[in-house]
């Protein structure tokens, strides 16, 4: 009794067979990277039209871009104030710029915004008791996934590897 199709599925550990797997996985990884690159790469066109122009100091300009990218525009709520063209975003960008020029620290600027608009204004909220769920959820999901994979893998590895070595009936 020779059934090669089944044998290939049942490699030890229940993982998919090596044959043809590697190129497939590499391809999937490449595709994933392309997708993410599209999300993170921000072209100049994404940036809101800035009436103030660039800051003279490039270090200050970099900090300005980083901070405004971190602050949520509360009118559109899914755009940062760096991206949004609404008037409030423009007012807030002016505020950030003035505070930077006045020599305030990044934290001081973020605190200024949080004091007025609440934690929601920050795209990455600080790790606190009440934000534990947001920060912890990905790790909890990963753990859950790991446990499920582990259980499934163990269950499969307990099954007979080959039809030849299987002595009992097919159905367990």
Partner 1 sequence: MWKFLLPFTAFIALVVLFAFGLNPHRDIHALPSPLIGKPAPTFTLSDVLDPSHSVSNAALSGQVYVLNVWGTWCAQCRVEHPELLAISRTHVVPIIGLVYMDERGKAKQWLEQLGNPYQSVAFDSDGRTAIDWGVYGAPETFLVDGRGRVIYKFISPMTQEVWEQEFLPRIAAARRGGA
The residue among 39 and 77 lying less far from partner 1, judged by its C-beta, is 77
Termini Cα distance of the chain: 19
Q: How far is the CB of 117 from partner 1 (least distance, A)?
A: 5
Q: Which residues pair with 122 in a beta bridge?
A: 71
25: exposed, middle or buried (Cβ count in 10 Å: 0-12, 13-18, 19+)? exposed
The residue among 61 and 95 lying less far from partner 1, judged by its C-beta, is 95
* Residues forming the site for partner 1 (CB under 8 A): 74-75, 77, 87-88, 91-92, 95, 114-120
> What is the distance between the alpha carbons of residues 100 and 66, in angstroms, rounded to a whole number?
12
The residue among 1 and 133 lying less far from partner 1, judged by its C-beta, is 133
Determine contact, residues 87/48, Cβ cutoff 8 Å. no
Q: How far is the CB of 154 from partner 1 (least distance, A)?
A: 14
The residue among 46 and 119 lying less far from partner 1, judged by its C-beta, is 119
Q: How far is the CB of 1 from partner 1 (least distance, A)?
A: 32
Q: How far is the CB of 72 from partner 1 (least distance, A)?
A: 10
Q: How far is the CB of 138 from partner 1 (least distance, A)?
A: 17
Q: Residue 71 in 3-state DSSP? A: strand
**Positive or negative: CA dihedral 28, 32, 37, 39:** positive
> What is the distance between the alpha carbons of residues 157 and 13, in angstroms, rounded to a whole number?
5
């Amino acid at each position: 009794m020779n059934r090669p199709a089944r044998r290939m599925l049942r490699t030890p550990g229940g993982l998919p067979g090596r044959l043809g797997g590697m190129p497939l996985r590499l391809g999937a990884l490449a595709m994933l990277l392309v997708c993410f690159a599209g999300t993170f790469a921000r072209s100049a066109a994404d940036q809101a039209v800035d009436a103030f122009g660039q800051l003279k100091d490039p270090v200050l300009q970099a900090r300005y871009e980083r901070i405004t990218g971190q602050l949520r525009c509360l009118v559109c709520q899914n755009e940062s104030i760096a991206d949004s063209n609404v008037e409030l975003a423009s007012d807030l960008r002016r505020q950030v710029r003035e505070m930077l020029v006045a020599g305030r620290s990044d934290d001081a600027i973020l605190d200024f915004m949080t004091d007025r608009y609440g934690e929601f204004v920050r795209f990455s909220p600080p790790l606190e008791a009440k934000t534990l769920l947001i920060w912890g959820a990905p790790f909890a999901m990963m753990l859950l996934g790991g446990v499920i994979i582990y259980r499934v893998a163990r269950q499969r590895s307990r099954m007979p590897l080959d039809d030849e070595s299987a002595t009992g009936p097919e159905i367990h």
